[in-house]
Amino acid sequence: MTARLALLSACLWFVSVCAEAVPEYQIQIKNHLFIPSTLEVPAHTKVKLLIVNMDATPEEFESYELNREKIVVGGGKITLFIGPLAPGEYPFFGEFNPRTAQGVVVAK
């Protein structure tokens, strides 16, 4: 009985996590640049990033501070979640074109 309750609780927790509505923000990659390069998001809130690659070549969104890395193919799009973040700045970059593709998430 206890095991069943624990399983049910785990399932409910999992479903609630999946169903959680989160604010969504979009970043574009164009000419190996992130647009916008500075993205303001609410602090202490989980947010969803939609990254749209307008270039023909792939890019990898990467951030050590956000602990995120994900490839977006040329002309493709990806989604990923960040946060809840403490107020502060969290740089990110494109691993395939790190000289130009740079940006920062500002949590306020």
Partner 1 sequence: MSMLLNALLLVLREVLEAAVLLGLLWNYSKLADLPRRWVIPAGLVGGIVAMCYAAALEVVSDWWDGSGQERISAALHLAVYVPVVVLGWGLYRPLQSRIVLLAMGLVFVAASVREGSEILIYVGAFIHAPGVKSAVFSGALIGAGIGVSSGILVSAFLGTLAPRNARTWVGMCLILVASGMMLQAVALLDQAGLVAHSTKAFDAERWLPEQSVLGQLLYAVLGYDSQPSGLQLGVYLVSFSIAYGTVWLAKRSTTHD
- Residues forming contacts to partner 1 in the complex (CB under 8 A) are 13, 17-18, 20, 22, 46, 48, 57-58, 60, 64, 67-68, 70-74, 76-81, 83-84, 95-96, 98-99
Query: Measured from the CB of residue 14, what is the shortest distance to partner 1 in angstroms?
Result: 8
Query: Measured from the CB of residue 62, what is the shortest distance to partner 1 in angstroms?
Result: 10
What token pair was written down for 45?
A: 């809130």
Handedness of CA 58, 29, 80, 50 (dihedral sign): negative
Cβ proximity to partner 1: between 1 and 74 the closer is 74
Cβ proximity to partner 1: between 36 and 75 the closer is 75
DSSP code, position 37: S
Cβ proximity to partner 1: between 5 and 86 the closer is 86
Whether residue 84 has a cis bond before it, omega within 30° of 0:
yes
DSSP code, position 17: H
What token pair was written down for 31?
A: 């000419």
Cβ proximity to partner 1: between 13 and 89 the closer is 13
Query: Measured from the CB of residue 83, what is the shortest distance to partner 1 in angstroms?
Result: 7
Whether residue 91 has a cis bond before it, omega within 30° of 0:
no
